[in-house]
Amino acid sequence: MESYITLGEVYAFRRNYQRAIAYYKQAEAIGTSLPFSSLKLNTCLNFGTAYRETGELSKAIYYFEKGISQSNYPEMMGLNISLTNGLAQVYAKSGAIAKAIELQKGALMKSRKISNSLREFQSLMALAESYSPSHPAIALNYFQQALIVGQTKKANKQILEALSHIAALHEKSGDYKAAYLARTKQYSIADSFYFKDISIKISNLQAQYELTKSQAKVEQLKFVNSKQLLEQKIMFWIISGSIALLLILGAYFFKIRNLNRRMNKANADLIQSNNVKDKLFSILGHDLKSPLGSILSFLELVNRGWLSEEEKSLMLIKLESQCSTTLDTLNLILRWGQMQLKGVMIQQSDVSPEKAISRNVLLLKEMAAQKSISIEQNIEPGLQVFCDADHLDFLVRNILSNAIKFTPVGGIIHISVQAYQNNQVIFQFRDSGIGIEPSRLESIFSLNNVSTVGTNNEKGTSLGLVVCKEFISANAGNIWVESIIGEGSKFFFTLLRSI
């Protein structure tokens, strides 16, 4: 189900909504027999958005209202707000602006109630756009509230978006002075945010240029007004010429060195890009091609009637495991690819490590039970960390699943979470597995890491730890590993402790 949703989102991103709807329908068909979950809500949201963009407004309303009715409780309030805003956009598109505004105001109240600044910003911007055609003064008020939300969170992207709409609204109403001020502030923030380093260098060069020009002018005046010092002036210009030559040679040398540095950086970037490409094709060619080949071979045997029922059952169990692993691999590749295109998306809040670990231990309990592996926990009560909750889930799930994969039957995994130095919290995952070779420890969190099979021939891509490293860096933490061959491994990572 999740893979169909992901494929649908890819086609929706490309604005191929008809193809996206086809994949959403397949996900919906699979999810009919499954219990209620956030995946079903996301399916409703995706259906509603796709039908809205294709102009099938009645279908869009159906799915948005279905999702809203099934998400009206605290744990799903974020999705409830997104669904409500999506429904409001449908009504706005159909011309029912009053109904759209009513829904958007409700979404705004909910977002403020749960202190969700991102959805509060989205709701304020949506309200402003709804009021803009007929009530520009009210629209301006909502745009300014959205601007304050962005400034409070120091979210430059949201600040720039709000300022752009404010300037456009002033231009439309004829208040060009206010529009100019908004645009000026917008460009100023953009310059300081995107071009700060370049601006400093340009300013320094300009100051140096002005200083040199000023010195030359002073010397010229001295030459004109002091003929009696002609010989001294000639000597001065000889010396000045020598200095200028040295400066030119120095500048030329600096320019060459700078070009070499840029070339080296470009070569390093090219090597990194090639490594990324090679890694991706290696995964696609090996970890995805082999399972698909096994499935085709099995289907050929079934089609020709060469397998008994017992053999079919055994093969189906193996194929189910392979498909599950392949799906995990595909989801990881998609997530990693999204990070390469958009960077790490982050929404930090206070998170309970105890709840995150318990949730993921329960999720992987069956995987550990198949190898009779016991999981022990030692979590300091009351600890909270300030991080992205989804990132922490991924970290715990990936490191714990690796520990299970490389721990033999009957082994033990110990999870510890304790307060740490400098207002941090340290997470430790210790297993009694096969350990990691010393030659691999330095590259285990990079694309140069080579994937190995688990104690029961479990397969992986080695991308998981690369993504873990990216998430830890985004949340101002550190990650490292200690390992002894034959004795097991210890994975550590730190996150900021909530104040």
Q: To the nearest 5 percent, what fractions of the chain are helix, strand and coil?
A: 70, 10, 20
In a domain, 234, yes or no: no
CB 404 within 8 A of CB 368: yes
Three-state DSSP at 495 gives strand
CATH value at residue 460 = 3.30.565.10
In a domain, 423, yes or no: yes
pLDDT at site 8: 64
In a domain, 440, yes or no: yes
pLDDT at site 439: 85
Q: Which domain holds residue 413?
A: 347-496
pLDDT at site 286: 47
pLDDT at site 409: 93
pLDDT at site 425: 96
In a domain, 196, yes or no: no
Rounded Cα–Cα distance for residues 464 and 469 (Å): 9
- Strands in 303-431 per DSSP E: 348-351, 374-379, 385-388, 412-420, 424-431
In a domain, 102, yes or no: no
Three-state DSSP at 307 gives coil
Report CA-CA distances (Å) from 402 to 89, 188, 454, 486.
44, 47, 8, 16
In a domain, 481, yes or no: yes
State the Cα angle at 132 between 129 and 134, rounded to 5°. 135
Q: Could you read off the pLDDT of 89-123 as tens digits, one per residue?
A: 888 888 888 888 888 888 889 888 888 888 888 88
Q: In this structure, what are the phi and psi dihedrals at residue 175, rounded to the nearest 5 degrees?
A: -90, 80
Rounded Cα–Cα distance for residues 499 and 395 (Å): 22
Q: Is 203 exposed, middle or buried (0-12, 13-18, 19+ CB in 10 A)?
A: exposed
List all residues 6 or more positions away from 7 whose beta carbon is below 8 Å from its beta carbon: 23
Measured in Å, how far apart are the chain's first and last C-alpha atoms?
39
Q: Long-range contact list for 98-103, CB < 8 A, 24+ apart?
A: 100/130, 101/127, 101/130, 101/131
In a domain, 276, yes or no: no
Rounded Cα–Cα distance for residues 294 and 326 (Å): 12
In a domain, 405, yes or no: yes
Per the structure, the count of domains in the chain is: 1
> What are the structure tokens assigned to 327, written together?
């799906």
The closest of 93, 107, 179 to 136, measured between CA atoms, is 179
| Regions in the chain scoring below 50 on pLDDT | 285-286
Q: Is 345 exposed, middle or buried (0-12, 13-18, 19+ CB in 10 A)?
A: exposed
Report CA-CA distances (Å) from 34 to 28, 77, 107.
10, 21, 28
